[in-house]
Amino acid sequence: MHPGARILLAILSALALPGLSFFYLACISLLLIALAFSDLARLLQLLRRSRWLLLGMVLVYAWQLPGAPLIEGMALSPSREGVIAGLIQAWRLAAMLLLIDLL
């Protein structure tokens, strides 16, 4: 594949991934995992290298978005909505990283 086409595909997928529903995000994630399954060690290494970025994203969303506290009675508890939103964003970022790695 031409390098310009790879760059265009990466940009278009970065624009499309945030707007996908859960079903399409799950389908794309399963497809990407199936394509990368032959080199599973590289996939795990990619996720291991980006673990702090993914964890930081979840934590920032957890404490910055308002909502019901995750742990009742705790003053500085993260919100349930924030944790869910952070996990979804981390999932999207992991899918994008995997797609770029496959390109």
Of 88, 100, 102, 97, nearest in space to 24 by CA: 88
Of the pLDDT bands very low, low, confident and very high (cuts 50, 70, 90), residue 52 is very high
Q: What is the pLDDT of residues 15-31, one digit of tens each?
A: 988 888 889 999 998 99
Coil, strand or helix at 69: strand
Contacts 24+ apart (CB under 8 A), 61-67: 61/85, 61/86, 61/89, 62/86
Please report the pLDDT score of residue 9 as a whole number: 87
C-beta separation of 91 from 57 below 8 A: no
Please report the pLDDT score of residue 35 as a whole number: 86
